[in-house]
């Protein structure tokens, strides 16, 4: 291996991060790649040196050893110290960086046919009471499960998938694009590396079947709309022996007839009569734990908020219980008799004056000022 400083080889500072190192490697590898410099031994030597430097600096453990002990800390590791990386190693490292651009690996390593199953999402509707207190629910989920006839292989019972002759089992085929030799997914086996000649009659070669399963979900107290519960391994089955995906149960809380929730607090509107607002009184208001008394002071205005501490919700990720906020709304009486109208008229006449309607007085003064009236 070259004894030049590896950071100098890539042209980066010693405190360069992973992104900077990869960017520098791409630039240097493009410059000295043998396909761009045919029959140039000097370029080939520099390309090898660049790859060796990148293999060390892109690995956190090797980089730490190099930073601490220099070349002595990495000699003999991963093929170093014994003649360096060969041509195959050049292709492997180069493919790690450029493979995502061309859709495959440049090192000929092939794509594994083992695939993890897809994650699933289930929307679960809860009442406010269920969300606040927690509950267990049974849900039915349509999903893909391993075919029990072929044990997920996709091949007819008593047979097995055979190696793809197009790609030799690698799942990739080599394509030449300009000076790049690029690996692409094999069109014959779709990257699996194997072909099923006799498909399973139950799953038709897919290795999985559609099925509806019933699951028990434990909903913790305090969840709210948008919260998700993860059920590991309850998603779709993996392909060719791969692990199953996960199921995410997303909570949606139904609209409540009385309460609205905002984080840990609950809000509700409490209608009161004109007389109760003016004279004060005591009335019962609902909470999730039953009814409680709420004292209304005299001269209460509509929209006034009253706080009942500890009558709200304890969030699933919180420590303290919220409050219940009661907003009083003064109701205007309807369907009045003639006598009631007379009494209200008398009351209105007796209340005429500034001291009985402070908000009204201030509002009208503001209107006059807005229009420039004295």
What mean pLDDT comes out for the span 240-261? Answer: 90
Distance CA 319, CA 315 (A): 7
Name the residue among 289, 225, 285 with its Cα closest to residue 258: 285
Name the residue among 53, 34, 171 with its Cα closest to residue 114: 171
In sequence order, the 6+-apart residues with CB closer than 8 A to the CB of 273 are 330, 331, 333
- Span 264-306, pLDDT tens digits: 999 999 999 989 999 999 999 999 999 999 999 999 999 999 9
Distance CA 56, CA 50 (A): 10
* Class (C level, CATH) for 120-253: mainly beta
Res. 85: pLDDT tops 80? no
What mean pLDDT comes out for the span 131-157? Answer: 87
Which range among 23-32, 255-264, 265-274, 335-344 shows the weakest confidence by mean pLDDT?
23-32
| Cα–Cα separations (whole angstroms), residue 92 to 2, 181, 251 | 20, 12, 45
Strand bridging mode 265-272 / 260-262: antiparallel
Q: How many CA atoms lie within 13 A of 72 on its CB side?
A: 2
Whole-model pTM?
0.56
Q: How many CB atoms lie within 10 A of CB 248?
A: 16
Domain spans of the chain, in order of start: 6-102, 120-253, 260-332, 341-374
Q: How many CA atoms lie within 13 A of 323 on its CB side?
A: 8
Kindly provide the b/e burial profile for residues 134-147, where b requires at least 16 CB atoms within 10 angstroms of the residue's own CB: ebeeeeebebbbbb
Distance CA 270, CA 306 (A): 10
Transcribe 97-161 into DSSP letters.
HHHHHHTS-SSS----S-BPPPPEEEEEEE-HHHHHH-EEEEEEEEEEEE-TTTTTS-BPTT---
pLDDT band with cut points at 50, 70 and 90 for residue 101: very low
CATH fold label, 260-332? HSP40/DNAj peptide-binding domain (2.60.260)
**Is there a contact between 138 and 214 (Cβ–Cβ < 8 Å)?**
yes
Architecture of domain 6-102: Orthogonal Bundle (1.10)
Same fold: 120-253 with 260-332? yes
Task: Please report where in the chains the tokens 């009558």 appear, as a residue.
Answer: 311
In sequence order, the 6+-apart residues with CB closer than 8 A to the CB of 23 are none
The angle subtended at Cα 140 by Cα 135 and Cα 144, nearest 5°, is 135
pLDDT at 74: 72
Res. 215: pLDDT tops 90? yes
Q: Which tokens go with 103?
A: 């859709």
pLDDT at 323: 96
Q: How many CB atoms lie within 10 A of CB 101?
A: 11
Is 339 exposed, middle or buried, given 0-12, 13-18 or 19+ CB atoms closer than 10 A? exposed
pLDDT band with cut points at 50, 70 and 90 for residue 210: confident
């Amino acid at each position: 291996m070259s004894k030049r400083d590896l950071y100098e080889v890539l042209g980066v500072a010693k405190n360069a991060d992973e992104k900077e190192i990869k960017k520098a490697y791409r630039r240097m590898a493009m410059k000295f790649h043998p396909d761009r410099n045919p029959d140039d031994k000097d370029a080939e030597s520099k390309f090898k040196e660049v790859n060796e430097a990148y293999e060390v600096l892109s690995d956190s453990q090797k980089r730490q050893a190099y930073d601490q002990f220099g070349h002595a800390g990495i000699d003999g590791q991963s093929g170093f110290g014994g003649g360096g990386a060969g041509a195959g190693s050049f292709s492997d490292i180069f493919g790690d960086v450029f493979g995502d651009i061309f859709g495959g690996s440049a090192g000929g390593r092939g794509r594994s046919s083992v695939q993890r199953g897809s994650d699933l999402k289930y929307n679960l509707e809860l009442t406010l009471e269920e969300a606040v207190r927690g509950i267990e629910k049974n849900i039915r989920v349509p999903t893909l499960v391993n075919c029990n006839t072929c044990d997920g292989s996709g091949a007819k019972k008593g047979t097995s998938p055979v190696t793809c002759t197009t790609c030799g089992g690698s799942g990739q085929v080599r394509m030449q694009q300009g000076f790049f030799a690029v690996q692409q997914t094999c069109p014959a086996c779709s990257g699996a590396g194997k072909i099923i000649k006799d498909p399973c009659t139950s799953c038709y070669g897919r290795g999985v079947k559609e099925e509806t399963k019933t699951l028990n979900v434990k909903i913790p107290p305090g969840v709210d709309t948008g919260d998700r519960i993860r059920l590991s391994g309850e998603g779709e089955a993996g392909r060719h022996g791969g692990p199953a995906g996960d199921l995410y149960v997303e909570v949606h809380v139904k609209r409540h007839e009385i309460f609205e929730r905002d984080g840990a607090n609950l809000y509700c509107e409490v209608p009161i009569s004109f007389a109760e607002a003016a004279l004060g009184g005591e009335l019962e208001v609902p909470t999730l734990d039953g009814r409680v008394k709420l004292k209304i002071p005299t001269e209460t205005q509509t929209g006034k908020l009253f706080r009942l501490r500890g009558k709200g919700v304890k969030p699933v990720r919180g420590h303290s219980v919220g409050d219940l906020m009661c907003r009083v709304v003064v109701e205007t009486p309807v369907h009045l008799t003639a006598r009631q109208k007379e009494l209200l008229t008398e009351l209105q006449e007796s209340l005429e004056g500034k001291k009985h309607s402070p908000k009204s007085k201030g509002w009208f003064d503001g209107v006059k000022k807005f229009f420039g009236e004295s």
